[in-house]
């Protein structure tokens, strides 16, 4: 995956940032964002969640697919077009992808679901569309039943002298995915979830159980919730922090039970919030906001957090305006 930033923020006129602003000095330091990643794995991995999960899945695909692989033509299995929030153009949204084999022989997949997975929202057939609250067993079956050609090396015997070795001939065998080793769950962001307090330990545990039961995973990785333009108040932000702590406690206290009809042995936490919050806080500090950068303090992301609500005036009737320290590198004229 190439993660080399161009050294400039992309011009975003509607956000009223200063176009093509330099990255802040800390974020442009060597080794912070200028890196490349290549991954090889024989594990079957699936990402489940909203559009952020889709982006995580695409980033992962970029690390495990060979350079010649055409992601758009080979991996996307279902998508839908939506112009509800951008009437001037239709936007394609990915619902299901599956890439196999990836570098190392494993599988990478993604299933879009903008809400919490529950037994009450399970349907025989899923709907690939904006705002759909159901998830379909037909989608699960299609991901598990996917057949792909797996390369296999076999020795090719020939008459040879003592100093000659067997040559290997590459062949392929048809392989069914069958199950996944791990699932990366992205709990839906505010916007899809209208009330952050509706996310409880029970709803998260139910999703873990169902993913284990239907996808056969032994490891579940849960991403912590990040800041976004849909965080409208400090109460929303406090609620997100409580959910993130809940996720950490679930992972810490998880015990595998052989008596339960699930396969999940291990819960891990992807600290996406911790990473992105540190980027926002660091950017805000260099913009002149009164924030502390001691990330070792417990609960640091809840301290002096009011700067997150320093927003532009409403720039669209369809979206809440973004936070200035999240999308700009310098304070626009007229802001405090």
- DSSP labels for 218-245? SEEEEEPP---TT--SHHHHHHHHHHHH
Q: Do 206 and 214 touch, CB atoms closer than 8 A? A: no
Preceding omega of 263 cis (within 30 degrees of 0) = no
The pLDDT of 103-121, averaged and rounded, is 91
State how far the Cα of 18 lies from the Cα of 14, in Å rounded to an integer. Answer: 11
List pLDDT tens digits, range 174-222: 889 999 999 999 998 888 888 898 899 999 999 999 999 999 999 999 9
pLDDT at 316 > cutoff 50: yes
Name the residue among 310, 286, 289, 292 with its Cα closest to residue 9: 286
- Residue % of the chain over a pLDDT of 90: 44
pLDDT at 5 > cutoff 50: no
Report pLDDT for 127.
79
51: pLDDT confidence band, cut at 50, 70 and 90? confident
State how far the Cα of 8 lies from the Cα of 23, in Å rounded to an integer. Answer: 6
Q: Compare 30 and 135 and report the one with higher pLDDT.
A: 135
- Per mean pLDDT, which range of 60-74, 263-277, 302-316, 322-336 is the poorest? 60-74
Beta bridge partners of 167: 156
Report pLDDT for 278.
94
State how far the Cα of 226 lies from the Cα of 223, in Å rounded to an integer. Answer: 9
Give the C-alpha distances (Å, rounded to integers) separating 101 from 53, 139, 147, 174, 175.
20, 19, 10, 11, 9
DSSP 3-state assignment of 82?
strand
DSSP 3-state assignment of 191?
coil
Strands (E), 158-297: 167-176, 182-186, 219-223, 266-270
- Per mean pLDDT, which range of 23-37, 140-154, 237-251 is the poorest? 23-37
Mean pLDDT across the chain, nearest whole number?
A: 80
Report pLDDT for 9.
37
Strands (E), 69-146: 76-82, 91-99, 107-112, 122-123, 135-136
148: pLDDT confidence band, cut at 50, 70 and 90? confident
The pTM (predicted TM-score) of the whole model is: 0.82
List pLDDT tens digits, range 218-255: 999 999 999 988 899 999 999 999 999 999 999 999 98
């Amino acid at each position: 995956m190439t993660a080399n930033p161009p050294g400039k923020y992309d011009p975003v006129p509607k956000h009223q940032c200063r176009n093509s602003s330099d990255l802040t000095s800390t974020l442009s330091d060597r080794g912070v964002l200028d890196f490349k990643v290549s991954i090889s794995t024989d594990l079957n991995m699936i990402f489940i969640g909203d559009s952020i999960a889709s982006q995580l899945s695409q980033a992962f695909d970029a690390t495990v697919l060979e350079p010649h692989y055409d992601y758009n033509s080979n991996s996307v299995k279902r998508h839908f077009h939506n112009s509800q929030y951008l009437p001037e153009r239709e936007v394609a949204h990915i619902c299901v992808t599956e890439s196999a084999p990836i570098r190392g022989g494993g599988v990478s997949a993604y299933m879009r679901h903008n809400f919490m997975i529950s037994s009450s929202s399970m349907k025989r057939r899923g709907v690939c569309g904006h705002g759909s609250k159901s998830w379909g067993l037909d989608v699960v079956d299609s991901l598990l039943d996917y057949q792909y050609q797996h390369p296999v090396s076999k020795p090719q015997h020939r008459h040879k002298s003592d100093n000659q070795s067997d040559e290997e001939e590459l062949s392929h065998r048809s392989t069914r995915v069958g199950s996944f080793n791990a699932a990366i769950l992205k709990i839906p962001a505010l916007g899809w979830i209208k009330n952050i307090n509706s996310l409880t330990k029970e709803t998260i545990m139910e999703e873990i159980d169902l993913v284990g039961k239907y996808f056969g995973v032994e490891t579940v990785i849960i991403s912590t919730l990040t800041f976004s333009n849909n965080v409208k108040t400090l109460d929303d932000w406090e609620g997100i922090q409580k959910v993130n702590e809940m996720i950490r406690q679930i992972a810490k206290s998880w015990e595998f039970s052989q008596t339960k009809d699930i396969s999940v042995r291990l819960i891990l936490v992807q600290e996406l919030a911790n990473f992105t919050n540190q980027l926002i806080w660091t950017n805000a500090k260099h913009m002149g906001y009164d924030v502390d950068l001691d990330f070792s303090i417990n609960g640091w992301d809840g301290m002096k957090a009011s700067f997150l609500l320093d927003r532009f005036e409403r720039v669209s009737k369809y979206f809440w305006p973004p936070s200035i320290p999240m999308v700009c590198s310098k304070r626009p004229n007229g802001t405090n």
